[in-house]
A and B are shown apart, each in its own frame.
Chain A
Amino acid sequence: LLMFSWCPGAGQDVGRSCILVSIAGKNVMLDCGMHMGYNDDRRFPDFSYITQNGRLTDFLDCVIISHFHLDHCGALPYFSEMVGYDGPIYMTHPTKAICPILLEDYRKITVDKKGETNFFTSQMIKDCMKKVVAVHLHQTVQVDEELEIKAYYAGHVLGAAMFQIKVGCESVVYTGDYNMTPDRHLGAAWLDKCRPDLLITESTYATTIRDSKRCRERDFLKKVHETVERGGKVLIPVFALGRAQELCILLETFWERMNLKAPIYFSTGLTEKANHYYKLFITWTNQKIRKTFVQRNMFEFKHIKAFDRAFADNPGPMVVFATPGMLHAGQSLQIFRKWAGNEKNMVIMPGYCVQGTVGHKILSGQRKLEMEGRQILEVKMQVEYMSFSAHADAKGIMQLIRQAEPRNVLLVHGEAKKMEFLKQKIEQEFHVSCFMPANGETTTILTNPCIPVDISLGLLKRETAIGAAPDAKRPRLMHGTLLMKDNSFRLVSPEQALKELGLAEHQLRFTCRVHIQDPRKEHETVLRVYNHLKGVLKDYSVQHLPDGSITVESILIQATAHSEDQGTKVLLVSWTYQDEELGSYLTSLLKKGLPQSTP
């Protein structure tokens, strides 16, 4: 059987994740992301690839969304409402809760701010969400009779999951984005030894092995602490969800531990709603938060308060988390402009910044910025860079492969050159084949499916009774008839097969003539043969019948004198097909001749 994996979106590219898998006749779409870099049609995957001219609902059996980042779910309302898809969409409970908030935010920015038309509406988001079926971790969901999916914990962001898709005995695991090292609010990704036929894994950090998280955390805390002690203000531009919560927890616990008093603010907006969900989905967080939430939910921040525009001018130290994360617009930029002039203050960039943004400029050491209105802003505040990324690094990816023991690996969501390195490593270490398709490319993987066959109990018992004790590690031969009927396979005994098929049994007999030189009379010859056989075949019942023939079990032996030569006797040996083994043995025995007579 064949399995396809076809990627209209993701492939060797970051952003716009969308993978199509055909497994044993079922078509599943994994993720439905958008590309942040484009503002035209290219931002969404090209769904016309999937069916040239047919309804998507007919073609796709289900859609699975791994987590709520827009590059994994951003195109969903477009796909389901505007292109048209009515089938089930699966995602985890936190993803289902948070996803619409982000989509709505994205819609607002695109439509309200940039003034685009022909974009999905709020109602479409709502309608789309109605099609979503939420799943629990490790819950096996039966999509239809054959297709089943199961979610595993993936770390990365709240509610991120890896999905196992299974049809019959063929299976695919799609990782989405995942993180193998735990952080302050989420645990590490985990798979059992599910041995899928194909593991589709992200490979963002295919060529990176990262340093321990602790050093980075410590540096971060130290820098914040020092600035606050000096009386400076700290600005941390973040995106609303994911890393922001991690940093909040980090600072919150540090404040708690060190008994600090300086205020921490979080710029409001969609974050508050999201934080609410973080409080609810405690089971999806890491060990520490899960264990202590009875005393205090870690997301009930004691030291972190909502930010008000007026606070930025307050004297004294403070820490402010503000959106967006690249300092290109909005509140974070406003605060940055206010604070940039003071060398006591500090800005910490917790992530990567796209070229052209203010964040990128200051990180690359630019000290004089030209703002709109030809103002020149001199940056005196300290600029720090702190990478907190929640993707698995090369080691993490290898570790996950080791855990799952797949037969094939497919790399997506990364850069081609880096993937090449990882591919080579995977093939070398695990001796499994590894693929890295480009956008729109189709990869075919041959699987070796096993076909379950029902065996009738009677037959099984009969067969096991014959041989030695069963040994699960060794294959065994058994006799039976394979019946293929009504799309099912059964192994039954021949009699039953005949009965079921309504066929008559045909007897098949082999007969063979053996010439023996024996001058004696016929009945004497028979007697000699009888004695000889009786001597040799001790375990079988050898009988001399009154009509002058001999039977060994069901094999019949008759002797007649040769018509021409009386000294040659012709022995007629006849046996049925079932006794082939014994029959041929007997003939070969008789062909050797009789022993010298011993009267």
Chain B
Amino acid sequence: MAAHLKKRVYEEFTKVVQQQHEDLSTKKLRLTKPSKSAALHVDLCKATSPADALQYLLQFARKPVEVESVEGVVRILLEHYYKENDASVRLKIASLLGLLSKTAGFSPDCIMDDAINTLQNEKSHQVLAQLLDTLLVIGTKLPENPSVRMRLVEVACKHLTDSSHGVRNKCLQLIGCLGPVEKGVAKEAESQAAKDVQKIIGDHFNDQDPRVRTAAIKAMLQLHERGLKLQQAIYSQACKLLADDYEQVRSAAVQLIWVLSQLYPESIVPIPSSNEEIRLVDDAFGKICHMVSDGSWVVRVQAAKLLGSMQQVSSHFLEQTLDKKLMSDLRRKRTAHERAKELYSSGEFSSGRKWGDDAPKEEIDTGAVNLIESGACGAFVHGLEDEMYEVRIAAVEALCMLAQSSPSFAEKCLDFLVDMFNDEIEEVRLQSIHTMRKISNNITLREDQLDTVLAVLEDSSRDIREALHELLCCTNVSTKEGIHLALVELLKNLTKYPTDRESIWKCLKFLGSRHPTLVLPLVPELLSTHPFFDTPEPDMDDPAYIAVLVLIFNAAKSCPTMPALFSDHTFRHYAYLRDSLSHLVPPLRLPGRKLVSSAVSPSIPPHEDPSQQFLHQSLERVYNFQHLDPRGIQELLEFTIRDLQRLGELQSELAGMADFTATYLQCQLLLIKALQEKLWNVAAPLYLKQNALASAAAKQILEETYKMEFMYSGVESRQVVIIHHMRLQAKALQLIVTARTTRGVEPLFGMCEKFLQEVDSFQRCFISELPHMQGSFVDKLLDLMPRLVTSKPSEVVKILQTTLRQSTFLHLPLPEQLHRATANIIEPTGESDNPLRFTSGLVVALDVDATLEHVQDPQGTVKVQVLYPDGQAQLIHPKPADFRNPGPGRHRLITQVYLSHTAWTEPCQIEVRLLLAYNSNRSKASTRVPKSTWSESSEALPPLENGIEGTIPFSKPVKVYIMPKPARR
């Protein structure tokens, strides 16, 4: 056998050498690999002690093995396996077998028999467990082969009686992963053992080892995940496991119970020690609730999380989770929540300053008090008060999910959520605010609750405040006092944290438009108008006054009687604000005035929107310029670009679209300008200036194309083609320019070849789009391709030049939605005159706070750049945790940038800006869900497009005044 194996190895060796002759170009590197198995064999034979052998194996494991030689290596390993006496070496071999069978492209069925055979004589439990693990790998690699799986499951069943927990663990795992799922297969099974996998696994729920019990439950869950319908009988078994001594068992059991409750929600189970029966899902809910007060926090987190997804539970049980009967000296006491509610309904608000205020009321029947409740009683009360914040967060999440599906529950849980706003951990506070926002359409805040909510507005954390503003945007308030309170608190917030201005205005906008009738009676007070006297005109630039106006104007939109209460200056202010803050102030139908800019109304679908029409019309005009003279074309382009840019400024919804097209037209304009130069015909070296212009144009076009490709979200493959095409043209231009400026032919060879490769890859990438590109540059180029490949560089350049001139301008189809990535640095503001002083050589942390819009994957792409006055630039990659996602398409970067420099004599400004990094490998073309053709080809692309990485600045730079002082000695 051994001799035969060795022969095989050498055979392999020679064979592959031959292959290498067959196609030299691609498989160069495979030359030395096959000797690996041979070398391993030699090494293992040489090994004098187990420790030696182990070393060899460890070394071997570090290197990858390719698909062709896997089988050979496996055979050698097996051969040594049988010879080896030392268990640790056998263990390593077993684990290597598993690793090898994972090799992509290798089908392990050929080694399965051998692997099973090794099990037979193995004595060491550890090695057995490892071998079973290997079998599991083999089994998972062969999903289409039920008979193999059957065999493996049988093997596993045989070893279930092993005395070592490790072996039993692996057996159960194997059964869970490979056990038959369909009924049909189970019937055909020849052996008894494999027939009822569920029963086999279920028997091990009572195993003496907790690890095995856990493995059994996990295997059961695995079966469920693979689609097997678990039997209801398991439920009672699982319930017993909830009282297990070990936390991992309980944790898994909670999961199992949850699964069963989802499978059989409506079946009826008896309540022990009584004759009553309840729905299974209710029973399970009660049991999981019970686990929320488990001793182990892992279990508590698990239980709290799962509660959220049990939506079929009856409302009676659900509401119990928030119930905790208070008592004091056996007398019923009302909770603070109940008291607050009562105070509120009795019309008296927030007194409660007496000692006996919470004095207990009626006597409690001692028999009726259930201290350790069997049901769901108070589960959330406990969960929300838990010691570990992980549990509290899980409980808040669960509350959120349950409240979303049940309005009455949402109403009830409100008090508790409001309480969470004062949690000691910010994450929990934030989470509960978000939760509240999510359920806000189901609830109306009472005044006292609102009071607590608003108290959080003073929080020093910006995240919290902003989350709270978002929450207030979509809250329902019940009374006019509530609105007033909210406004007062928001204004307080505004004076304390002036940076929150925008967010507060926005919040008031929604608050106003949601509660017009509640705002109406407040108007005279808010505007401080008086029936008889004229009051002084407030300062128009006061952010607080603007905030009040935003509230009132938005309320007035759906309340036509309100403008009657305005005084003269209010109307003037309205006109001003409507113009300056058009996104916050809606158009109003004011008496004696015509409706300002009534044209833009949300009811008109976008394609009928006149500005959209304008955009399309101007584009149409441009695309037909073919007939114009060159001068006219240039002018037309220039005008259109100007129009589009202005349009983008006016219409924020269209900004992305307009900018995108403007950029494209700009590229085209540059190209035309560069080609139009009459001096092209003159001998090159004389016209350096002209060359500079053309090469600058080429460079700029390249830059712009990268911007187009990576800075806009919503770019589709149709656009990507056009962009790439434009880039190709720019490269052609570059080639021509270089050809004319450089002497000698050698450098041109390389460039031409590279260019042709690029054309080739373009063709391969976008083959499906080529038919749409009739008459374009690339179309013509591809026609000429055979000629190009054979001709000399100088000829190539000539051809390129003519094709570039003759090619038509491609239409840029516009996608539905297009947004330009923008960034706005909020902090540092760049207004400070006080330099940031620090000792040179040490670092100073600069807080950077920026909002990003329409950036995809900001964690990977957004960088911070710091430019020092000496031209030194520093690029900082913010941590992924520094990005928050407050809303769709919006991101927030809050990070710290460390600065350092050698000493300066006087303070100077540095520039901070944000960059968008791109990498053409990660281009949209290849990440997008592809049309079959070019996804495959893009994988096989030769690495010529690799490494085109770059950055696009996309925020205004901010100047920071710093002063590194020399260190004092």
Contacts and interface: CB of A to CB of B under 8 A. Distances in A.
A253 B459 CA distance: 11
Interface string A87-126: 0000000000000000000000000000000000000000
Interface string B694-705: 000000000000
Nearest to B328: A208
Interface in A386-400: 394-395, 398-399
B386 interface: yes
A182 to B, nearest CB: 4
B375 to A, nearest CB: 14
Interface stretch (A209-217, A524-532, A554-562, A571-579): A209-217
Given A208-B327, A213-B385, A394 B371 contact: yes
Nearest to B355: A385
A214 B385 contact: yes
Task: Bin the interface of chain B by size.
Answer: 35 or more
Contact of A363 (B325, B355, B420, B424): B355
B206 interface: yes
Interface in B331-361: 333, 335-337, 352-355, 358
Contacts of B416: 212
B407 to A, nearest CB: 23
Given A214-B420, A402-B372, A421-B330, A209 B325 contact: yes
A286 B424 CA distance: 11
A207 B330 CA distance: 5
Nearest to B208: A472
Interface in A191-210: 191-193, 207-210
B330 A259 contact: no
Contacts of A541: none
A225 B459 CA distance: 13
Interface in B205-239: 206, 208
Contacts of A425: 369, 371
B206 A187 contact: no
B829 interface: no
A311 to B, nearest CB: 25
Contacts of B371: 209, 394-395, 398, 425, 429
Contact of B372 (A214, A258, A385, A429): A429
Interface string A363-405: 1110000000000000000111100000000110011001100
A256 interface: yes
A130 interface: no
Nearest to A430: B372
A213 B422 CA distance: 11
Interface string B89-114: 00000000000000000000000000
Contacts of A403: 295
B366 A424 contact: yes
A215 B389 contact: no
Contacts of A469: 161
Interface string B357-386: 010000000100101100000100100111
B385 A259 contact: no
B387 A188 contact: yes
Contacts of A286: 387
Given A214-B419, A421-B366, A473 B206 contact: yes
B330 A182 contact: no
Interface string A130-174: 000000000000000000000000000000000000000000000
Nearest to B295: A403
Contacts of B330: 207, 418, 421
A298 to B, nearest CB: 10
Contact of B329 (A208, A213, A256, A288): A208
A217 B422 contact: yes
Interface residues of A, number: 56
A271 B384 CA distance: 32
B452 interface: yes
B327 A218 contact: no
B355 A287 contact: no
A288 B424 contact: yes
B745 interface: no
Contacts of B325: 209
A216 B336 contact: yes
Contacts of A296: none
A538 interface: no
B466 interface: no
Given A182-B385, A382-B353, A473-B206, A418 B329 contact: yes
Interface in B765-786: none
A364 B355 contact: yes
Contacts of B455: 222, 225
Contacts of A187: 387
Contacts of B326: 209-211
Contact of A219 (B329, B352, B355, B425): B352
A436 B911 CA distance: 75
Contacts of B621: none
10 contacts: A184-B424, A192-B295, A207-B329, A207-B330, A209-B326, A257-B458, A365-B355, A421-B330, A424-B366, A425-B369
4 tightest A-B CB contacts, nearest first:
A215-B336, A182-B387, A472-B208, A214-B419
